Amino acid sequence: MFDRRLLLNFDWTLLITVSLLALIGIANLYSATAAWEGSGGGFYLKQFVWFGIGLMLALLICCFDYRHLEHLGVHFYIITLAMLVAVLLVGKTTMGATRWLDLGFFNLQPSEVMKLVIIIAFARYFCRHGHFRGYRLRELIIPLALLALPVVLVLKQPDLGTSLLILFIAGVMVLFAGIRRGVLILLILLALTGAGGGWFMLHDYQKERIRTFLEPERDPLGAGYHIIQSKIAVGSGGMFGKGFMQGTQSQLSFLPERHTDFAFSVFAEEWGFAGCLVLLLLYLFLIIWGVYVARRAADRFGMFLAVGVTAMLFWHIIVNLGMVIGLLPVVGVPLPLFSYGGTSMVTTMIGTGLLLNVSMRRFMF
């Protein structure tokens, strides 16, 4: 089954870009956690291990033709949905939210899996129900239902960040598939009323985060502390930064969560605008390359798959960076390949594996 052409067509550009970002991320983690001892020392090493695991998963995924996923999509969707229900029933609760399933050897976060599964499910639907002149509302009922179930379940955990991300990823895929102008207007209206109604359904801490985002100085030591300290860190980096391991904000521990969600502000402080420019260009290149992979895909399923994965990476990057530099409210979204955490790394690398898969089979029908 393994064709020599697959190796010839292997997408080295993508793999190298992703690896480069991950390595920069690990170096940054080393700096961010250098001042911690004991429990802190091993973060960058653990992240390295996670990257290794992710890399192997990505390469493993390449061995199987992605087209098998089209048939497995339904199964994946049902299993993951069942896991989301299970989380609500028997999940592990930490810090007021129930997001994990304890599988004994590790904790699984089904909402993370759902990001990938919804991409596969949508790719399957839009591949099978092609439409050249834009979808009507009637034809969107099934994908919208497919989307609504997990989003509501994740929202109930409660995990606003992840449910919005799933919504955004699916949104890009729907828009890319094309919808009638009327439907677009309708969906926008629906989203606005949903947002308005949703405000009353938010938990207090979520409302507080949004209020604080709009006006961080309101509570500089409480909820606003993260945003203010992060902005000071980023801003004080200046044009060329304070140098590796020299960031006073981060080294002095004014920065909270500096190894996870706020890892970028450590980078920005130490490498300045110049460093951020390079890093952002790398991320942008990754996104553009993802779109390029979609464009070269051999079939509609592969194309939608690539668009979905790229959208996933894109939204994570945008929401995290937007949060760190004070453009978006604080929602706990990690920066792919950069923030510490096994779940994020594995999800990202599986996504990368799918892109590599679609890319290397571009000439195979």
Query: Do residues 156 and 294 lie in contact, with contact meaning Cβ atoms separated by under 8 Å?
Result: no
Choose the binding region for another protein from 10-18, 56-64, 144-152, 320-328 (rule: CB under 8 A): 320-328
> Which neighbouring-strand residues pair with 179?
135
Subset of residues 130 to 159 that bind another protein, contact rule: CB under 8 A: 130, 132
Answer yes or no whether residue 67 interacts with another protein by CB under 8 A: no
- Cα 342 to chain centroid, rounded: 13
Compare residues 193 and 248 and give the one whose CB is closer to another protein.
Answer: 248
Query: Do residues 350 and 54 lie in contact, with contact meaning Cβ atoms separated by under 8 Å?
Result: yes
Q: How crowded is residue 166: how many other Cβ atoms within 10 Å of its Cβ?
A: 24
Closest CA to 111 of 148, 144, 155: 155
x/- track of binding to another protein for residues 178-217 (CB under 8 A):
x---------------------------------------
At its nearest, how many Å lie between another protein and the CB of residue 148?
A: 24
Answer yes or no whether residue 288 interacts with another protein by CB under 8 A: yes
Choose the binding region for another protein from 70-78, 110-118, 135-143, 171-179 (rule: CB under 8 A): 171-179
Tokens of 336: 């792919």
Which member of 73, 272, 308, 336 binds another protein (CB under 8 A)? 272
Choose the binding region for another protein from 21-29, 38-46, 118-126, 201-209 (rule: CB under 8 A): 38-46
Answer yes or no whether residue 277 interacts with another protein by CB under 8 A: yes
Answer yes or no whether residue 38 interacts with another protein by CB under 8 A: yes
x/- track of binding to another protein for residues 242-261 (CB under 8 A):
------xx-xxxx-------
Question: What stretches of the chain adopt beta strand conformation (E)?
Answer: 92-94, 97-102, 107-108
Strand order in the sheet with 107-108: 92-94, 97-102, 107-108
Alpha-carbon gap, residue 344 to 26, rounded angstroms: 14
- How many Cα atoms occupy the beta-carbon half-sphere of 89 within 13 Å? 6
Which member of 44, 50, 283, 340 binds another protein (CB under 8 A)? 283
Which member of 299, 332, 342, 364 binds another protein (CB under 8 A)? 299
Distant-in-sequence contacts of 342-346, Cβ < 8 A, 24+ apart: 342/46, 342/50, 342/53, 342/106, 343/109, 343/112, 344/112, 344/316, 345/22, 345/47, 345/50, 345/51, 345/53, 345/54, 346/50, 346/53, 346/54, 346/57
Answer yes or no whether residue 235 interacts with another protein by CB under 8 A: yes
Which member of 123, 294, 333, 355 binds another protein (CB under 8 A)? 294
Compare residues 113 and 355 and give the one whose CB is closer to another protein.
Answer: 355
Answer yes or no whether residue 273 interacts with another protein by CB under 8 A: yes
> Which neighbouring-strand residues pair with 102?
107
List residues binding another protein (CB under 8 A): 35-39, 42, 127, 130, 132, 172, 176, 178, 221-222, 229, 231-239, 248-249, 251-254, 268, 272-273, 276-277, 280, 283-284, 287-288, 291, 294-295, 298-300, 303, 307, 314, 318, 321-322, 325-327
